[in-house]
Amino acid sequence: MVLTGAGISVSCGIPDFRSRDGLYASLKERGEYDLDDPQQMFDIRYFRENPAVFYQIYPSNFVPSPCHRFIKLIEDKNKASAACTAPLLSLLSSFPNHLLHFQNYTQNIDGLHTLAGVTRVLECHGSFATATCILCQRQVPGSEIEADIMAQKVPICTVCNAPRAASPNKKGKKKSKKKAKGGWDSDEEDESDGPTYPPGIMKPDITFFGEKLKDHFDHSLAADRSQVDLLLVVGTSLKVSPVADILCHLPHSVPQILINKTPVRHINPDIILLGNADTIIAHLCSKLGWDLPPPTVQLSETPPELLQTRKRSAADVHALEEPRRVGESHVFLFDGADLLSGEWLKNIERQSSVERDMDQPYDNGVKRQKNRVVM
């Protein structure tokens, strides 16, 4: 099982949410929107009042990262391509021949897993692939609202807002039509300074704060949990439930590997690889003798500023540096690791030293395997 988050799309040009340079920090610093908390842009009540903020993050013209292609490679892998003696690499190279039970759970809404060709992916929080009218519940392909979004217009339902002929029998004084500055035409008076919107707003089929996940998440997890023999967590801080709780639903005997830029302190995986996700993936592929599949989108379609980054990343694959192991612990540091605080690292080093001296695994109340990993 692979669990992915926003960190695997950062190199594509899509910011993550909670890092110091992420979307929430950027919105707060710019102060362009009247948000008490940047997370409000994903609050369903706020969306109904001001949907324009949300559409600022609409994904467009992005190419899947090496991480996306690595997941595709795992899905397609029929058998190990190289014999490995290191436990971590043995875990990765020992996927079943047909991967009958491979499943990718992602918190991302950018659709890049699908663009990379991953077929067994469950987009836990939905995606921009479809959109639904918040009034009449009419659903359309996401492509139908893309033109409006790219033109910085809030997409509206063409059915709910279709012109209607005036009824000759209707009595009463007709209200004067008023247009709010910078907003939509409205038949209702509004004394607020903000723009007004018609009732039929098209909302991408994404789960907002205040909404429940679809039932298929629970059903899929219930079916998968007994089949999992390895959990790979990539690019997520695991702070949003219920997806963050997936780890709690798996048997303790299932090995867990975390690949992330920063430590995730409320979990205790068997292996922690900290740094730029693409760099770590390149290292693993190099050790395994695996070749990533080519991008499914031509690089010529990518903005020039992203092309330069992607070319540098490809060149770096041929000059990989070995990660730094923290003492004799299960933690490995790669380029780009953001520890936030040196105290966490010192604690790992101290615990590793105690474990070595006592010749037994340390245990802070969370499952820990005795055999440690050698990269």
Binding region: 133, 136, 157, 160
| Active site (annotated) includes residue 283 | no
DSSP 284-349: HHHHHT--PPPPSS-GGGS-HHHHHHHHHHHHHGGGPPPPEE-TTSSEEE-TT---S-HHHHHHHH
**Do you know the residue count of the chain?**
375
Quote the tokens at residue 185. Answer: 């035409």
Q: Which residues are annotated as a binding site for Zn(2+)?
A: 133, 136, 157, 160
The Cα–Cα gap between 133 and 77 comes to 40
> What is the widest separation between alpha-carbon atoms in the chain?
91
Give the three-state DSSP class for 209: strand
The Cα–Cα gap between 130 and 145 comes to 9
Element (H, E) at 278: helix 277-288
Determine which one of 113, 125, 283, 330 is catalytic.
125
The Cα–Cα gap between 153 and 30 comes to 21
Give the three-state DSSP class for 131: strand
Q: Which residues contact 311 (CB under 8 A, 6 or more apart)?
A: none
Rounded to the nearest angstrom, the gap between the alpha carbon of residue 207 and the centroid of all alpha carbons in its chain is 13
Amino acid present at 300: S
**Residue 4, beta-bridge partner list:** 106, 234
Give the three-state DSSP class for 91: helix
| Cβ-contact 330, 258 below 8 angstroms | no
Active-site residues: which are they?
125
